[in-house]
A and B are shown apart, each in its own frame.
Chain A
Amino acid sequence: MGSSSGQPEFDYLFKVLLIGDSGVGKSSLLLSFTSNTFDDLSPTIGVDFKVKYLTIGEKKLKLAIWDTAGQERFRTLTSSYYRGAQGIIMVYDVTRRDTFTNLSDIWAKEIDLYSTNQDCIKMLVGNKVDKESERAVSKKEGIDFAREYGCLFLECSAKTRVNVEQCFEELVLKILETPSLTAEGSAGGKKNIFKQNPAQTSSASSSYCCSS
């Protein structure tokens, strides 16, 4: 970190939130994405957090992904994490119908209640498509829900890693397309408050001159 003070580590920092019923595989999805492994994880306690660096096009992105617990008891607690999120991923389990119906009964309402970011990108993800035989929610139902609530939609499997990368990448691309969100996540401003001072910036520019 110290050595890279002249040049920012990343161009954008985006905050992404995972929500959905307990046991739908939010943490597994996140683990699958961040470390390419699948594990039957312990249920999340309250909130968990993972960082993933991505490069899309020329842009270096830092994703701060907040993984929330689905338990009702934690719901009031996690509400504060909605704020400032540029992307919210709603996850359900395609083999458990109640996790899907709870999306409209509970989770969509939570978003309305706690998210203040009007332009925030919402994404609907149906997990556990590897258990095709136990499927209880059809793809069409998922699409219809996504259409109604204006979300991106994807079905994936954290276990087989089908569509896991795509899920996050598509979300990030959509965020990058939204100017107000990119402005928020732009690294320049946020870092300036704490880390950057004029001396550093000038040294950065001078180093640029030398290298060129």
Chain B
Amino acid sequence: MASTSRSNPLEEDDDAEEEVQHFDDFTLASSWERFISDIEATCRQWLADGPKNLVEKGAVAMEDSKNLFRVKHDLKDVAKSYCMEFYFQIENNGSQQAGIGNWNSNSHDLQLCFGVKDFLLIAPQSASGVLLDTPESSKLLSSVAIALSNCGSLWPAFVPVHDPSRKAYIGIQNMGTVFTRRFEADRIGSQVPVKLMHLEGLYELFVSKFVYSGVDFSMHNFKVHFMMRLTYQTFPYDEEDEENDMDEIMNDKADSAEHYGSESRNKVHWDDDCPWSEWYSAEDPLRGFELVVTWADRTVENTLEMAELENASPHEAEKGEPSHGKRIDFASQLLCLVEALDMSFTAQFMDDFVSVENPSSENLKTSVVIPPPTVLDRVIKDLFHEGSKLPDFTKGEHRLSRALKAAPLESLFTQFCLHSLWFGNCNIRAIAFLWIEFVREVRWCWEETQPLPKMPIDGSIDLSTCLINQKLHLLAICIEKKREMNEEFLDCIGSEDSSDASISMEEHDKVDKRINTSSEADLQQRKRDSSIAEDTSNRLRFERKTEHTNSVNQSPTDAIRIGSAGPVGTMMLLKSRQRLHAPFTQDPPLMTEDMHEERLQAVEAFGDSLNVPGQLEKDILLSDMSAFKAANPDAVFEDFIRWHSPGDWESFEPKTTETSAGSITDGLKDEWPPHGCLSQRMSDQGNLWRKSWNDAPALPADDQKPLLDPNREGEKILHYLETVRPHQLLEQMVCTGFRGSADTLNQTKFGNMKQMTSKLEQLYLIIKSTCGSLQRINLLDRAKTVSDLRRLCVAFEHVEKLVTVAASLHRKFLDASRLAQVIFSDFYGIYAPKMGMNSNDEENKSSTEMEVSRQEVTLRERQVVSNLFSPPSANQSWRKVLSMGNLLNGHEPILREIIFSTGDDVNNGIHYAAAADVAATSDRKGEEIETHRIHKDVRNMSICCYCFNVLLMLKEVGTRRTRNERSLSFRTS
């Protein structure tokens, strides 16, 4: 090819002339000359523009490369059209071998093979894009070379040759006026000689090409630089599952017929310990990882070192899978629940959906599935008989969980809702069946006084939860109270009197007398009489009375004290020289939301108009007073006020109570009785408190009529549950279902992934706002609410998917959370923009595949990464036979790229070779990379060119299992 360099001066002269004349005469020019001129004009244009202008003019950035750009120009020869492309890099880091120096994956194949930076590529615009015969290719290359040297450009130019599958190129580069550099690469696909399967062999091959054959190169000390990059791919994670599935179906056909509760089988899923596994098993979103291992510039046969990890492609549902288009997760089931809500407006009672006669159920029956009774039994058993221990109600709770009008995750109602999501296909009929059975079971607990499972039996009713949960909580408390009463009844069967009395607090005095005569001394009765006499008392009379009681109270009356919780500090009674005792009191009655509402309406209707204030809690005050009287038989109204409302007792004593108390213990009798009077408002005429005091019988809390009548309240609650309107039930189920599902997802351990945390928070906020409007639902905006809820399901689905990915990543990178985080945030970056899309679009859903970019692996994380590659099973390891070494836990790299280079002048003379070994990965066609070696000896002023190609090909066989088909041949030119 020396001819091309020789022809250069001539062309240059012509060129100079033309430029001067600014006149092109092509009348006599051959088509070839015109072709050259065309190329030249384009190259001049590109040269003149420079990279920056080209970018501005619309050069196309190469995919996955930040700084490699391409411009295109179409050329026409007589017979054929060609396409000339100029690849250039914007970033100038001074190195000619930018692509190789840091071996980033973004480099173009040709950059990697030949170590060039900017280059021209000319290819015919045929279907294959490859020149088929040698004359044509050399003609084309010559044209480019002439054109380039006319322009004085030093760009290397390449043309493809041979069969396209060989990806062979020849190239030329003008190195100034004297030299040209030639490139040639080829790939031959047949058997690989064993020798070349190992690095030693390749090294020897390289060196033998570099020096002249026959020389004993082992005697020479060549500085051969070596770089290698290996790509490993993990086995698909779902592989084992599939196998197990097969076994499962083979082994127990009986069980596999039943879909429900399949998680209880011994099948091992990746997400077995994830919170959602109780309900369904998610497909592992991570299909595999690719690990790219790079050996930086070093000498041959070095130790294994991992420098880069290329992450995995978290694929979503793959085409052709049985579950195609039919996801099973919370979001899908919640959507069913929303549909059920929509249906629920058509009936008055839940029973209507079950009964056969109902016309509305006719059209329902066709589409709905009711699970067999065995499944129903199983769910009920799970709800009611599994574990009597009280669950932790804060489990899984998000900061925002309580803002939702639902119930805690572990509570009975939430568990019911979650079960109904998976019961049948969560249609209204299935829900109705389950609900009726649920209520039946609740009633059984009530009738049999059995504790309600998964519900606390104490505490106050949390009004922020949904009404059914409040009701169930109150019912659980009622059952507990009923049980206590039964026990007491059994304990003291003989004392029927007192239990009778406890019912009739209203008939105070008469009844009181009867009871008290049996249990208390007459003295106490006298006290009461005297306090009745105080009915119209004012302060003056009180003073007198104190004197009176003082004298009466000579004998201690402690013996008849009942229901005392102990003395209050050192407080003394006013009329009796005794300690003031605090009584045991009844708990204030518990009320559910609707009870509050009822009372509010009652007060609004009557209380306000009659102007009778303070009636709401009068029974509580009465109960307290009765208990106080029982605990302090000698007490007067003032004593009660001193204990109950200290602010309304104005003490006359100058000293603090402590000192006066101290003096009492010292026995200074002068200090007793305490001096003081009731506040103005307490001593007013017709004071309600005093009236109440006079009405209150002395009764310890235990003997009082309970403020909360468990029998009555319990029955009321069951009535509510049995007659709840379907849409009211469904509304609460929807809210609770969403919260329960969200709380379940919230339990997922995904480490410290900020996007996930904030996404979950957003989810709660969306649920809150959507379900908030649900509580005010009416028939008119029902359609809107339902469509809002459907949209909420979509949002839920996205978050659910993200959680699955995050969890999967987290568990795979437990000891390298940084990696999990960066990979996740990368995934999130790709996924987040898609979240706006409606996933009802099936096509979009099924074919989404996502590749996540590479992440750097630090030294510490290497072990974790290598653990990802579990040792292959026996049937997988057959390929080891052909392996080249560098196995990672028995995994063979699917791609080997090796570059040898040598040279004593870094800037100018570089001798290198690259050997690559490529496997088909995600691309099914199979991709290949050729290897080249170029040698230029600057000092000898001579040019020689070698090339060889090594190709190892892997073909994808079956379901992502790869088999090696290797071939290598070698040739020199």
Contact = CB atoms under 8 A, between A and B. Distances in A.
Contacts of B591: 80
Contacts of B321: none
A46 B680 CA distance: 19
B778 A193 contact: yes
B57 to A, nearest CB: 51
Contacts of B613: 27, 41-42, 44, 48
Given A42-B689, A48-B614, A80 B460 contact: yes
A42 B779 contact: no
A197 interface: yes
Given A48-B613, A49-B616, 17 more contacts: A22-B646, A42-B681, A43-B681, A45-B616, A47-B616, A47-B617, A49-B603, A49-B607, A70-B647, A71-B645, A73-B585, A76-B460, A77-B620, A79-B460, A80-B460, A84-B463, A198-B779
Instruction: Report the interface size class on chain A.
Output: 35 or more
Find the residue from A49, A51, A64, A70 having the highest chain B CB count within 10 A.
A49
B779 A77 contact: no
Nearest to A21: B647
Interface residues of B, number: 45
Contact of A23 (B600, B647, B776): B647
A76 B684 CA distance: 27
29 contacts: A23-B648, A41-B613, A42-B614, A42-B682, A43-B648, A43-B681, A43-B682, A43-B689, A44-B613, A44-B614, A45-B617, A45-B692, A48-B616, A49-B604, A51-B604, A64-B604, A70-B647, A71-B647, A73-B585, A73-B644, A74-B617, A76-B460, A80-B460, A80-B461, A189-B776, A190-B776, A193-B776, A197-B778, A201-B780
Interface of A: 21-23, 27, 40-51, 64, 69-71, 73-74, 76-77, 79-80, 83-84, 116, 118, 188-190, 192-193, 196-198, 201
A42 B684 contact: yes
Given A40-B681, A45-B621, A73-B644, A196 B604 contact: no
Interface string B667-692: 00000000000011110100111001
B624 interface: yes
Contacts of B687: 42
A93 B402 CA distance: 35
The 5 A-B pairs with the shortest beta carbon distances in the complex, nearest first, are A46-B617, A189-B776, A45-B614, A77-B588, A192-B778
B779 A197 contact: yes
Contacts of B689: 42-43, 45
B608 interface: yes
Contact of B618 (A23, A45, A80, A198): A45
Nearest to A74: B617
B614 A46 contact: yes
B681 A41 contact: yes
A70 B647 CA distance: 9
B600 to A, nearest CB: 7
Contacts of B647: 21-23, 70-71
Interface of B: 402-403, 460-461, 463-464, 585, 588, 591, 596, 600, 603-604, 607-608, 613-618, 620-621, 624, 644-648, 679-682, 684, 687-689, 692, 773, 775-780
B657 to A, nearest CB: 14
A189 B778 CA distance: 8
A116 to B, nearest CB: 5
A45 B679 CA distance: 16
Contacts of A190: 776
Contacts of B402: 116
A44 B689 CA distance: 9
B648 A77 contact: no
Contacts of B681: 23, 40-43
Nearest to A183: B772
B616 A46 contact: yes
Nearest to B464: A116
B588 A198 contact: no
Contact of B688 (A42, A50, A79, A192): A42
Centre residue among A42, A79, A189 by max chain B CB count within 10 A: A42
Nearest to A201: B780
A76 B588 contact: yes
Contacts of A48: 613-614, 616
B600 A64 contact: yes
Contacts of A188: 776
Contacts of B646: 22
A163 to B, nearest CB: 22
Contacts of A70: 647
Contacts of A83: 463-464
A64 B644 CA distance: 27
Q: Which of B461, B614, B779 has the most chain A CB atoms closer than 10 A to its own CB?
A: B614
A80 B617 contact: no
Contacts of B461: 80
Nearest to B692: A45
A48 B647 CA distance: 19
A34 B564 CA distance: 41
B415 to A, nearest CB: 23
A42 B680 CA distance: 9
Contacts of A21: 647
Contacts of A43: 645, 648, 681-682, 689
A106 to B, nearest CB: 13
A53 B647 CA distance: 32
B463 A40 contact: no
A45 B596 CA distance: 17
A113 B613 CA distance: 27
A198 B463 contact: no
A42 B682 CA distance: 6
A22 B463 contact: no
B596 A80 contact: yes
Nearest to B608: A51
Nearest to B588: A77
Contacts of B780: 198, 201
A118 B765 CA distance: 13
A48 B612 CA distance: 10
Nearest to B681: A40
A22 B613 CA distance: 16
B491 to A, nearest CB: 28
B463 A46 contact: no
Nearest to B617: A46
Nearest to A197: B779
Nearest to A81: B596
